[in-house]
Structure 1
Amino acid sequence: MLPKQGAIAVFVKTPGYSPLKTRLAQSVGTACAEQFHVLSAKAVEAVVHSVVQQNSVTPYWAVAEPEAMQDSLWSQFETVEQGAGSLGARLAHVQQLLFADYDFIIFLGADMPHLPVTLLNTAVEILSEENETPQFVIGPACDGGFYLFGSQTALDPAIWQNVPYSVENTSCVLREQIQDLGEIHLLPELSDVDTVQELPLVAQQISTGKDWLEEQRQVLSWIQEWETQSD
């Protein structure tokens, strides 16, 4: 039996085309927020690349702006358009595109530079297995959202539309929406980076752990330099 074929889609916005990390920018400034976004995306890219080398998965950038699909920032992976509308509509759109060719999909944000390779590998391993019921993987974020979503089946677009995003119960509502559709596996809770308050949490995790990739250590250096300059 052939292994299940999966896709990992990293959702990104492109500097110069869309406002980036607006809540973070309110504290650190637009230029610094863009710098962090690019470094963070490169760290996530490195994590995904490491996992792709070990598994039957294909990486994609899900790009917010159609005109930025060929931007050099996104040259390492194939690109797909997020589509128009709300975040729910865009998640549904990318899901529909990828499930035409793959057995499972994983969605990631670009604001998780401290995502351990081992966690993403775990998600891929769960979704690669044959099961009688669909399998889901959710990485809950500390702010109530989710940093990773994986599925062996396409969700009805209405489910994505019914989830309230960027609120403290986003992840809980998503779990309630899919709890009768299959088995849900929860990954450890992590902080994604939306505001300046999360930067020290990311730095702490990277500085106290081991086996981090060079691109992730570059994020740590950037945060430490920013903290020094802001004191």
Structure 2
Amino acid sequence: MNGGVAIFVKTPGRSALKTRLAADRGEAYASGWYRRAAAAVASVARQAQARHGLVAYWAVAEADARDAWPDLPTLAQGAGGLGERMARVHAQLVERHGFGLLLGADSPQLTAELLGEAMDWLAASAPRLLLGPASDGGFWIFGGNHALPVVRWTGVAYSTADTAARLRDSLCDAGDWRTLPTLTDVDHASDLPAVRDALQRLQNPTPEQRALAAWMDRHEDSPHA
């Protein structure tokens, strides 16, 4: 049981992405930030793969864009709302690797140590679940070592101030829970300083995390970079 992790991504130029950040800072900034943040998240997933055996994937939103994400193998998110798509990808990871972790691309300050903690918790025969809350009420990571009924995912309202709590309530009887530290994810320009500061505080950032932090520093005062 080595576990799998899927990074959920939309493809710049093929789907609208980070629309609230784009409204604050412009589409060029939002696209540039997103591409670099996704690369930073992937670099940490590859680090966990090298250290712990975690198998990393892109979970790509667009059916015709899997070739746009060459650095990792890809999984198709498929059709439906976010809950249905997460259920589908998570079930594939559990079937292939024993347990599955789902990540977004907008909390690039995560670390391989946090992924290692998640792996240690989920590498058990008893049903176990894991959640990393985001500061806005969502979550930056979900994990589970068994596939879950789709209805448990689709009954949750996503992108709300209590999404993490709603998801946990929906799955409260599905296994033992572990909660990882809260991280900030980026939706608005007001989220950027906390993420930049967290990147700068990392003791051993990956080159991609350093590159993102440097890019954010260069564009800090540009209203529409």
- TM-score over 0.5 for the pair: yes
CA distance in 1 between counterparts of 2:223 and 2:160 reads 29
Contact 2:3–2:97 (CA under 8 A) maintained in structure 1:
yes
Q: Counterpart amino acid of 1:162?
A: G
From 157, 177, 183, give the equivalent of 1:184: 177
Query: Is contact 2:131–2:179 with CA below 8 Å preserved after alignment?
Result: yes
Is residue 3 of structure 2 the alignment partner of residue 6 of structure 1? yes
Paired with 1:21 and 1:79, the residues of 2 have a C-alpha distance of 21
Give the deviation of 1:228 after TM superposition.
3.0
State the AA in 2 paired with 1:115: L
Alignment partner of 1:210: what SS? coil
CA contact (8 A) 2:58 2:74 kept: yes
CA distance in 1, matches of 2:131, 2:221: 35
- Of the three residues 2, 12, 15, the one matched with 1:15 is 12
Q: Could you say which residue in structure 1 is the equivalent of 2:61?
A: 64
Within the alignment, does 1:225 sit opposite 2:218 as a pair? yes
Q: 1:46 matched to which residue of 2?
A: 43
TM-score of the two chains, using structure 2 as the length reference: 0.95
CA distance in structure 2 between the aligned counterparts of 1:123 and 1:42, rounded to whole angstroms: 21
Name stretches of at least 5 consecutive residues in structure 1 with no aligned partner.
Answer: none
Verify the 8 A CA contact 1:127 1:150 in the aligned structure 2: yes
Distance in 2 between the 1:81 and 1:207 partners? 33
| Residues paired across the two proteins, number | 224
Which residue pairs with 2:98 in the alignment? 103
- Residue among 9, 17, 30 paired with 1:33: 30
Q: CA RMSD in A?
A: 1.4
Given that 2:4 and 2:56 are in contact with CA atoms closer than 8 Å, whether structure 1 keeps it comes out as yes
Whether contact under 8 Å (2:5, 2:93) holds in the other structure is no
Structure 1 vs Structure 2: percent identity of aligned residues? 39
**Residue 117 (structure 1) aligned to one of 107, 112, 120:** 112
- In the superposition, the TM-score normalised over structure 1's length comes to 0.93
**5+ unaligned residues in a row in structure 2: which ranges?**
none
